[in-house]
């Protein structure tokens, strides 16, 4: 497997799961790798993606249990989502494919107490953002080298179909501003590898959506 920046953050995203089983939605699920991890944690998972080939690949990979996972081809900007329904909604490297205010649809779909976890892609805005990215480049090269060497030792990596990469990343300051406006109380933590982690827990006394 080539080094994958999104997979690298799976453990951090899984730590945000609310306790107990519940419904989860993975937006832009790609080949379903993270959705399967949610199912392995006992969640009842729906994975949605607009790309047929990825949805087919995700379905073919099955589900590990003990939770379940169902995939469907759907566009998060238009798909009717049950209101106040999900304990956990994740977006891994998919939010920058759609207008940022799509998070309001996800906000409304979360159950009170539910968690929205966005592993987003953004370009640096401030001096400290640039300093972090300065570290990302060599770290990225080293991580790729280590994974490549491991693959070679194991007889070479299988070719893997990759989801389309959309490199039009928003500036991190825009993400901070819009998150504060649309998801009051959310946090946006900058990460290496041109990523950020946006976390928002829907207040239990949040007015019902709809
Ligand atoms: C960079 S890939 C990330 C895939 C996966 N989440 C991962 O971490 O490997 C972005 C995914 O978002 C999907 N996507 C783009 N626009 C979408 C939309 N409007 N609704 C749902 N999925 C979308 C793409 O088809 C693609 O599979």
Residue at 207 is within a domain: no
153 domain-assigned: no
User: What confidence tier does 92 reach under pLDDT thresholds 50, 70, 90?
Assistant: very high
Stretch 13-28: mean pLDDT: 96
Does residue 140 surpass a pLDDT of 90? no
Do 18 and 113 contact (CB within 8 A), yes or no?
Answer: yes
Atom of ligand 1 nearest to the CA of 4: 9
Per-residue CA distances from 179 to 73, 102, 158, 198 (Å): 27, 11, 39, 8
Q: How many domains does the chain have?
A: 1
Partner residues linked to 196 by β-bridges: 120, 190
Identify the domain containing residue 27 by its residue range. Answer: 5-124+163-201
> Across 34-105, where does the E strand assignment appear?
44-49, 68-73, 86-92
Q: Is 4 helix (H, G, I), strand (E, B) or coil?
A: coil
CA of residue 128 to ligand 1 center, whole Å: 28
Q: How many C-alpha atoms does 97 have within 13 Å on its Cβ side?
A: 20
Q: How confident is the model at residue 159 (pLDDT cuts 50, 70, 90)?
A: low
In a domain, residue 157? The reply is: no
Look at residue 206 and tell me if it is in a domain.
no
Report how far ligand 1's centroid is from the alpha carbon of 161 (Å): 13
Ligand 1: list residues with CB < 6 Å: 6, 27-30, 34, 48-51, 54, 75-77, 92-94, 97-98, 163, 165
124 pLDDT tier (thresholds 50, 70, 90): confident
Q: What pLDDT score was predicted for residue 158?
A: 57
Average the pLDDT over 156-163 and give the result.
56
Alpha carbon of 33 to ligand 1 centroid (Å): 12
Q: Examine the pLDDT at 87 and tell me if it is beyond 70.
A: yes
The SS3 assignment for 22 reads coil
* Atom 25 in ligand 1: residue holding the nearest Cα: 51
- Condensed to tens digits (0 to 9), the pLDDT of residues 49-70 reads 999 999 999 999 988 889 999 9
Is the residue at 139 inside a domain? no
| Any domain includes 151 | no
Specify the pLDDT at position 1.
45
Cα 139 to ligand 1 centroid, rounded to whole Å: 25
The answer as to whether 150 is a domain residue is: no
Would residue 156 count as lying in a domain?
no
| Residue 200 CB coordination number (10 Å) | 23
pLDDT reported for residue 100: 97
Residue 126: predicted pLDDT:
78
Look at residue 210 in the predicted model and tell me its pLDDT: 75
pTM of the model: 0.87
pLDDT at 162: 54
Chain-wide mean pLDDT for the chain?
89
| Domain of residue 72, CATH code | 3.40.50.150
* Beta bridge pairs of residue 121: 195
CA-to-CA dists, residue 120 to 41, 53, 189, 197, angstroms? 22, 23, 10, 6
Ligand 1 binding pocket mutation candidate from 3, 26, 50 (most atoms within 8 A of CB) = 50
| Residue whose CA is at the smallest distance from ligand 1 atom 14 | 28
């Amino acid at each position: 497997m080539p080094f994958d920046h999104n997979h690298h953050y799976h453990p951090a995203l899984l730590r945000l799961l609310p306790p107990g089983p519940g419904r989860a939605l993975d937006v832009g699920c790609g080949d379903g790798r993270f959705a399967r991890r949610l199912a392995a944690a006992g969640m009842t998972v729906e994975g949605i993606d607009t790309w047929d080939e990825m949805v087919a690949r995700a379905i073919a990979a099955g589900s590990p249990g003990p939770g379940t996972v169902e995939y469907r081809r759907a566009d998060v900007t238009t798909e009717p989502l049950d209101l106040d329904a999900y304990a956990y909604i994740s977006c891994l490297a998919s939010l920058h494919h759609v207008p940022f205010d799509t998070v309001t649809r996800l906000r409304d779909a979360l159950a009170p107490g539910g968690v929205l976890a966005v592993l987003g892609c953004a370009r640096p805005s401030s001096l400290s953002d640039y300093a972090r990215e300065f570290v990302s480049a060599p770290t990225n090269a080293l991580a790729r080298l280590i994974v490549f060497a491991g693959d070679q030792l194991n007889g070479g990596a299988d070719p893997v179909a990759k989801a389309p990469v959309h490199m039009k990343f928003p500036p991190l300051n825009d993400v901070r501003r819009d998150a504060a406006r649309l998801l009051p109380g959310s946090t946006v933590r900058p990460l290496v590898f041109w990523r950020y982690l946006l976390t928002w827990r829907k207040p239990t006394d949040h007015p019902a959506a709809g």
